[in-house]
């Protein structure tokens, strides 16, 4: 099976406090720790496991600047066969549809049975996979937390739905699936693993290679544009307990007693 | 703005989800004078009662009755909506697990703009709608300009709008089932596998000690179980703990886990994403412990403690045990 996985380099929000820059046009990016989008890591692991079971190859692709190469290499070290960076100044300011257009152009250069994305990334959009499927005119399932290969043309997939329930469907390939965290346990990649793939070539495909112009894959074509970041007026919020930890604990125990939190 | 607004009504066995009336409020926020049409998709006898219910809140109700819609398969519903919806209008969908499945692809097929997970609307200027969103699990908010000129599919976060309970629309129901068209798709629904019942029912607990990513390591979970034991509380958790397989799924609080209604909720190392908060009902007394002072959990908690829980929890446990 030929599998294509879309990954993204994102600020690691478990490693960083996300704050606004002084003008509110962006988050403060100095000193941010970046990593692969958490959901994408599960998608790559799933692709590798499927390939190891049924044969074929796994390709990872990222839309981004040259810094995304590091993320691609990390994912390749997990056992991916090929990586490709989709990079062009023109892609700056593309909206979700623009990103999907870029990925579609790369996917159409190959012949893939299965295309995986993470269920969402740092902006919480959860949109690129569904758009990509519609553009490619293939079936789609989001929030997938189990995949079973039935035969060369069909998968049985589980979607994580409300209440911890799992919605099971049969889906024909080629198809696009967005992968939910928890579907597997992504393998650990050490420095040694990354060193092993250091010499693997990662081709860079720009707008010209992909036959794209700014009206479909750049700011000019974006119908959805972020104009600013802000911190909303949140009202009072929590009463923050302060003082020495003994004082805080004494106050907390008092509150727990009053509210029925201690038995 | 003369665009019509449609709202997709999410329901389960003929009972509308809370989002159905929230979308009325969302539509009015976009345009107080808009004609708003509810789209009710399903199969069988329950559908008429639901349509009549919705007619109290929506100017028009389109009924799409087809046995293929007995379970909501976003793939076939997308095809029906592409066949039915006029081009250039606005469609609101709840940003739940179904809406995430439906919305993005539908926007492509309608050649409409798509905004996911909208939490507010902040005015229209010509054909540009200002939408409020959140990024980084709610740590920052953003304004997004959405070009409505070729229509828009807007996925709206459940719970972000107060439901419009006025029920004063006096709308009418139109049966559009004959216009559904071809809905043959390549993804077929098989069954829903219900969540496994664990050894503890967190939905019945009065006091929950809930642990999140801040615990850092599986070995540290011990301090949580010791605190819960000292308090006579039950341990629950947020999603990353279940993803890491440190606790069973039945202990997960959130839209993709259990819905709980405790009297006291202790959120330890939980950032407070909307998916997590969506699993907490009622008005528990909420205490949050997090080392990040900007964690969204502090916006909703009653009491907050900004500290590293790994140091704080054992001290707290010791003091409670000594009582």
Q: What is the CATH number of the domain that holds B63?
A: 3.40.50.620
Rounded to the nearest angstrom, the gap between the alpha carbon of residue B12 and the centroid of all alpha carbons in its chain is 14
State the smallest CA–CA distance between residue A133 and chain B in angstroms.
7
State the smallest CA–CA distance between residue B168 and chain A in angstroms.
31
- Does position A13 have pLDDT exceeding 90, yes or no? no
Query: Does residue B171 form part of some domain?
Result: yes
Looking at the partner chain, which of A129, A133, A224 has a beta carbon nearest the beta carbon of B114? A224
Query: Does residue B192 form part of some domain?
Result: no
- Verify that B82 and B129 share a domain, yes or no: yes
Query: Does residue B191 form part of some domain?
Result: no
- Does position B1 have pLDDT exceeding 60, yes or no? no
State the smallest CA–CA distance between residue B302 and chain A in angstroms.
5
In chain B, which residue's Cα lies nearest the Cα of A11? Answer: B136
Residues of chain B in contact with residue A240, where contact means CB-CB under 8 angstroms, are: 293, 298, 303-306
The alpha carbon dihedral of B11, B17, B20, B23 has a sign of negative
The predicted pLDDT at position B59 comes to 96
Percent of chain B with pLDDT over 90: 89
Q: Which pLDDT tens digit goes with each residue over A188-214?
A: 998 899 999 999 999 999 999 999 999
- Verify that B11 and B84 share a domain, yes or no: yes
CA gap A39, B313 in Å, rounded: 30
The domain of B208 spans: 202-322
CA gap B37, B4 in Å, rounded: 8
Query: Does residue B305 form part of some domain?
Result: yes
- Verify that B110 and B213 share a domain, yes or no: no
Cβ-defined contact of B140 to A230 (cutoff 8 Å): yes
Cα–Cα distances (Å) from B238 to A36, A155, B295, B298, in that order, read 21, 30, 14, 16
3-class DSSP assignment, residue A32:
coil
Query: Does residue B255 form part of some domain?
Result: yes
Between A67-76, A227-236, B57-66, the lowest mean confidence (pLDDT) is in: A227-236
- Verify that B234 and B152 share a domain, yes or no: no
**B312 — contact with chain A (CB < 8 Å)?**
yes
- Does position B154 have pLDDT exceeding 90, yes or no? yes
Looking at the partner chain, which of B73, B134, B186 has a beta carbon nearest the beta carbon of A124? B134
Q: What is the CATH number of the domain that holds B235?
A: 3.40.50.1220
- Verify that B133 and B25 share a domain, yes or no: yes
Query: Does residue B175 form part of some domain?
Result: yes
In chain A, which residue's Cα lies nearest the Cα of B12? Answer: A162
**B69 — contact with chain A (CB < 8 Å)?**
no
Cβ-defined contact of A252 to B303 (cutoff 8 Å): yes
User: Average pLDDT for residues B145-158, to the nearest whole number?
Assistant: 97
Query: Does residue B185 form part of some domain?
Result: no
CA gap B10, A178 in Å, rounded: 21
- Verify that B170 and B34 share a domain, yes or no: yes
- Verify that B252 and B170 share a domain, yes or no: no
Cβ-defined contact of B252 to A159 (cutoff 8 Å): no
- Does position A154 have pLDDT exceeding 90, yes or no? yes
State the smallest CA–CA distance between residue A201 and chain B in angstroms.
32
User: CB neighbours (10 Å) of residue B323?
Assistant: 8
Bond from prior residue into A174 cis (ω within 30 degrees of 0):
yes
Domain total for chain B? 2
List, as ranges, residues 283-302 from B with C-beta within 8 Å of A.
285-288, 292-294, 297-302
- Verify that B37 and B119 share a domain, yes or no: yes
- Verify that B109 and B17 share a domain, yes or no: yes
**B104 — contact with chain A (CB < 8 Å)?**
yes
Q: Which pLDDT tens digit goes with each residue over A14-66?
A: 777 788 888 888 888 888 899 999 999 999 999 999 999 999 999 999 999 99
- Does position A76 have pLDDT exceeding 90, yes or no? yes
pLDDT band at B6 (very low <50, low <70, confident <90, very high): very high
Q: Which pLDDT tens digit goes with each residue over B181-238?
A: 999 999 999 999 998 878 889 999 999 999 999 999 999 999 999 999 999 999 999 9
State the smallest CA–CA distance between residue B121 and chain A in angstroms.
13
Cβ-defined contact of A261 to B266 (cutoff 8 Å): yes
**B162 — contact with chain A (CB < 8 Å)?**
no
**B310 — contact with chain A (CB < 8 Å)?**
no
Calculate the average pLDDT of chain B. 95
Q: Which pLDDT tens digit goes with each residue over B119-135?
A: 999 999 999 999 999 99
Query: Does residue B189 form part of some domain?
Result: no
In chain A, which residue's Cα lies nearest the Cα of B185? Answer: A139
- Verify that B45 and B174 share a domain, yes or no: yes
Q: Which pLDDT tens digit goes with each residue over B248-284?
A: 999 999 988 999 999 999 999 999 998 999 999 999 9
CA gap B186, B76 in Å, rounded: 9
The predicted pLDDT at position A233 comes to 66
Domain boundary (B179, B210, B232) is at B179
Which ipTM score applies to this complex?
A: 0.94
State the smallest CA–CA distance between residue B171 and chain A in angstroms.
30
Cβ-defined contact of A166 to B192 (cutoff 8 Å): yes
Cβ-defined contact of B116 to A127 (cutoff 8 Å): yes
- Verify that B71 and B126 share a domain, yes or no: yes
The predicted pLDDT at position A263 comes to 78
Cα dihedral B292, B294, B299, B305, rounded to 10, equals: 30
The predicted pLDDT at position A90 comes to 97
User: Average pLDDT for residues A120-132, to the nearest whole number?
Assistant: 96
Strand order in the sheet with B264-268: A239-240, B303-306, B285-290, B264-268, B207-211, B234-237
**B256 — contact with chain A (CB < 8 Å)?**
yes
The predicted pLDDT at position B166 comes to 93
Cβ-defined contact of A171 to B187 (cutoff 8 Å): yes
User: Average pLDDT for residues B45-63, to the nearest whole number?
Assistant: 96
- Verify that B152 and B213 share a domain, yes or no: no
Q: Which pLDDT tens digit goes with each residue over A221-263?
A: 999 999 999 987 666 789 999 999 999 999 999 999 999 988 7
pTM: 0.93
CA gap B40, B113 in Å, rounded: 22
State the smallest CA–CA distance between residue B109 and chain A in angstroms.
7
């Amino acid at each position: 099976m030929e599998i294509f996985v879309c990954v993204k380099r994102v600020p690691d929000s478990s490693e960083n406090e996300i704050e606004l820059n002084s003008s509110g046009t962006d988050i403060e990016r100095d000193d941010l720790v970046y990593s692969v989008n958490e959901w994408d890591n599960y998608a790559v692991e799933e692709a590798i496991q499927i390939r190891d079971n049924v044969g074929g190859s796994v390709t990872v692709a990222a839309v981004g600047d040259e810094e995304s190469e590091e993320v691609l290499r990390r994912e390749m070290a997990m056992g991916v066969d090929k990586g490709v960076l989709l990079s062009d100044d023109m892609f700056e300011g593309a909206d979700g549809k623009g990103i999907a257009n870029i990925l579609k152009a790369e996917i159409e250069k190959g012949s893939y049975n299965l295309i995986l994305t993470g269920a969402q990334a740092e902006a919480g959009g959860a949109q690129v996979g569904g758009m990509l499927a519609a553009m490619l005119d293939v079936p789609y399932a989001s929030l997938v937390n189990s995949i079973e290969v039935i035969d060369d043309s069909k998968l049985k997939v589980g979607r994580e739905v409300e209440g911890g329930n799992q919605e099971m469907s049969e889906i024909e390939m080629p198809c696009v699936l967005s992968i939910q965290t928890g579907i597997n346990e992504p393998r650990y990649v050490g420095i040694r693993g990354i060193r092993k793939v250091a010499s693997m070539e990662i081709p860079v495909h720009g707008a010209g290679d992909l036959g794209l112009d700014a009206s479909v894959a750049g700011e000019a074509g974006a119908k959805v544009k972020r104009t600013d970041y802000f911190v909303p007026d949140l009202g009072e919020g929590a009463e923050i307990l302060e003082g020495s930890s003994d004082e805080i604990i004494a106050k907390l125990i008092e509150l727990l007693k009053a509210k029925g939190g201690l038995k | 703005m003369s665009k019509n607004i449609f709202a997709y009504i999410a329901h389960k066995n003929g009972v509308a989800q809370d989002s159905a009336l929230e979308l009325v409020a969302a539509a009015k926020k976009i345009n107080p004078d808009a004609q708003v049409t509810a789209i009710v998709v399903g199969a069988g006898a329950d559908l008429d009662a639901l349509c009549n219910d919705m007619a109290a809140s929506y100017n028009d109700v389109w009924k799409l009755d087809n046995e293929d819609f007995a379970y909501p398969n976003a793939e076939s519903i997308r095809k029906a909506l592409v066949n039915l919806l006029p081009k250039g209008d606005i469609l609101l969908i709840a940003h739940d697990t179904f809406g995430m499945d439906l919305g993005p692809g539908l926007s492509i097929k309608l050649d409409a703009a798509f905004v996911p997970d909208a939490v507010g609307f902040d005015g229209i200027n010509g054909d540009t709608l200002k939408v409020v969103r959140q990024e980084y699990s709610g740590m920052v908010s953003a304004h997004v300009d959405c070009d409505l000129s070729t229509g828009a599919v807007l996925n709206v976060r459940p719970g972000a709008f107060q439901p419009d309970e006025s029920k004063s629309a006096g709308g009418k129901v139109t049966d559009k089932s004959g216009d559904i068209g071809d809905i043959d798709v390549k993804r077929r629904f098989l069954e829903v596998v219900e969540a496994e019942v664990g050894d503890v029912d967190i939905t019945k607990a009065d006091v929950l000690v809930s642990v999140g990513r801040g615990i850092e390591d599986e070995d540290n979970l011990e301090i949580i179980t010791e605190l819960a034991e000292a308090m006579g509380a039950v341990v629950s958790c947020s999603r990353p703990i279940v993803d890491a397989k440190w606790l069973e799924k039945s202990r997960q609080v959130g839209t993709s886990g259990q819905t709980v209604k405790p009297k006291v909720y202790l959120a330890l190392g939980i950032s407070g994403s909307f998916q997590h908060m969506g699993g907490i009902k009622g008005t528990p007394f909420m205490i949050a412990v997090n080392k990040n002072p900007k964690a969204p959990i502090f916006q909703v908690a009653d009491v907050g403690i900004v500290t590293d829980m790994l140091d704080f929890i054992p001290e707290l446990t010791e003091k409670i045990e000594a009582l």
